[in-house]
Amino acid sequence: MRLLIIGALEGQLSQASKMAMDGGAKVAHAGTIEIAMASLRSGKGADLLLVDVMVDIPALIAALEAERIAIPVVACGTETNAAAAVNAIRAGAKEYIPLPPDAELIAAVIAAVARESSDFLYRDPAMAKVVKLADQIAGSDASVLITGESGTGKEIMAKYLHARSKRANRPFISINCAAIPEHLLESELFGHEKGAFTGAVARRIGKFEEANGGTLLLDEISEMDFRLQAKLLRAIQERVIDRVGGTKPVPVNIRILATSNRELLTEVKEGRFREDLLFRLNVVNLKLPPLRDRPGDIVALSEHFVARYSAANGLTQRILSQAARDELLRAPWQGNVRELENTLHRAVLLSSGDVIEPEAIRMPDGTGLSDAVASHSLASQAAAAADAVSRSMVGRTVADVERDLIIDTLGHCLGNRTHAANILGISIRTLRNKLNQYADEGVDIPAPGEQRYSAA
């Protein structure tokens, strides 16, 4: 773990540095913000910044954000610096460590950052197969494409691979290709020379050079501009890069991992992704199944998140009731593990006792999880009804098809007019007018709470 200490390295801060090194961290020092930024631009990198609270932390965080350098900041200072500590936290520092330093606290902060969620928690056989394949190829330098829906844990899998590779003691650098504007992504990847473009006030080392000797994760690679893909292909093939505004190629030694929640073969067919780049990235494909297809992981992950957020919020250890577990297993989890984690975090906070019951498991809008399950089931039924109707339209009048579609959709929505109108894409007023017309014609209209299925 790489620790960069910023500030006057005297007395207690020097002691904190020694404790960090005793804990296995590689420690560097920068006396000022300017020196620290120069060090980060040069590609030396850091996993954590430990900053003297008397340093202008708001200015430091603003400088990091301006150059899109994402590194957590932890402030430290004496108890008499309470106002400065509050300002540091407000500016964006993750934690505040009081001085003189406590060895256990320093070790805990380092461990929390160094851990980086490299342990992949799983119990389901479907995920076990993926992890077994990951273990087989982790020690190689082969490029790996990690695919799966959003929230399935693709970045965690990438960290899992790195932690078990021959490069584990070297940098793991990640860049989200979807989060950086298209015109800036090239300099983020390959770096730039001073004066290469407006705002390039100094040489900046890119992610390829920063990851030299280690692993580079190209997160959401499908979002990369087609023109930039050609430069990326050259960098992967030849293991050399060109800084923006540079005059000579720079050799790099890295392993490439990439993630995508899109089907890249489809992107290739649509002309949005280079086929030769896909071949280079997809030496091995790890496809993470969605959470709904690995029910064995749902309870294990739920218990893990309950334990984590009970401790994080200073609460007595919460546990899930059997009824709560059953409800979690029934949910569709469209947002996968990310949605499950947020749901359990809320449940820990909303639970009125040490046992989490279904009533405490709420959605972001305050509705119960059972309502979300019912809504998902209802939508699935309505979609199936619409599909069945579409296959039987040939040879019938538009008016007949419209009437049957409205009646069948209403029946699958348990007679709920609002749900049916939303699915049909019409106003509730239009729906009511149609239903009044059909009733006058003698058509049997589904009553509220009445469920029907199309004969088709």
Tens digits of residue pLDDT in 164-198: 999 988 889 999 998 888 778 888 899 888 887 77
| Mean predicted confidence (pLDDT) in 252-272 | 93
Considering the chain, what is the average pLDDT of its residues?
83
Residue 455's pLDDT is 42
For 231-256, the pLDDT digits (tens) are 999 999 999 999 888 888 999 999 99
81-95, 130-144, 240-254 — which is least confidently predicted?
A: 81-95
Are 5 and 16 a contacting pair, CB within 8 Å? yes
Q: What's the one-letter identity of residue 109?
A: V
Is the confidence at residue 425, as pLDDT, over 60? Answer: yes
Find the angle CA(253)-CA(255)-CA(260) to the nearest 5 degrees: 140
Residue the block writes with tokens 């390829």: 208
| Mean predicted confidence (pLDDT) in 328-349 | 91
For 190-202, the pLDDT digits (tens) are 988 888 777 777 7
Tell how far CA 222 is from the center of its chain: 15
For 199-220, the pLDDT digits (tens) are 777 788 889 999 999 999 999 9
403-407, 442-446, 448-452 — which is least confidently predicted?
A: 448-452
- What's the pLDDT band for 371 if we cut at 50, 70, 90? low
Is the confidence at residue 373, as pLDDT, over 70? Answer: no
- What's the pLDDT band for 456 if we cut at 50, 70, 90? very low
Structure tokens at 316: 């007595």
Residue 65's pLDDT is 81
Is the confidence at residue 304, as pLDDT, over 80? Answer: yes
Residue 135's pLDDT is 93
- What's the pLDDT band for 21 if we cut at 50, 70, 90? confident
| Mean predicted confidence (pLDDT) in 124-145 | 94
Residue 392's pLDDT is 53
- What's the pLDDT band for 454 if we cut at 50, 70, 90? low
